[in-house]
Amino acid sequence: MKHSEWLRLQTEGDRVVASLRADGFNCRKQPRRLSWYLCKGSVSYTLTWLPPPVREWSLLPNDETPERAQLLAQISSILEHRGCGRIAEQSPDSTQRFWNQKNYPWTLVRLLPNAQHYTVGRFYSRMEAENHKRFLGKWMPATEFEVIFDSDAVT
């Protein structure tokens, strides 16, 4: 799995967990995995990313209870509603797929000589962009990065 895909999935999981915490769930991240332990009263599941060939979020154990079905529906709603990169738009002038940039106004850029810049990534929140900047700063200490707000992305 590419690092960029890992970061995207980590962000999706964090958004789901933040929303579930607001609904009263106790959530705990499992180290070094795309997996969170969710608990509310007598209901407890593990939200995890299933790798290829499945490639989707799942709740374990896979029992057929109404609570699990309701929680899965809630997670699907969160992923679709918050613009977590699930919906891609087709570019009219090329065959490449681009993410809907209206949902990602924070941009991390690499500063280049002669007042040029290179867009490294787009993020939903400033905190995500700052965390990514901090991560890249550890691995590329001689490189300058800057987080900017792209007002053109917000319409």
Triad 139, 34, 10: Cα angle to 5°: 55
Triad 143, 113, 139: Cα angle to 5°: 10
pLDDT band (50, 70, 90) for residue 101: low
Residue type, 137: G
How many helices (H) and strands (E) are present in the chain, helices listed first?
Answer: 3, 9
Chain centroid offset of residue 139 CA: 21
* Cis peptide preceding 141, ω within 30 of 0: no
Q: Could you report the per-residue pLDDT of 63-84, keeping only the tens digit for each?
A: 888 888 888 888 888 877 654 4
In this prediction, residue 145 carries a pLDDT of: 92
Q: Average of pLDDT values for 82-111? A: 55
Q: Could you report the per-residue pLDDT of 7-57, keeping only the tens digit for each?
A: 888 888 888 888 888 888 899 998 888 899 999 888 888 988 888 777 788
Task: Decide: 106 and 124 in contact? Cβ < 8 Å.
Answer: yes
Residue written as token pair 């374990």: 60
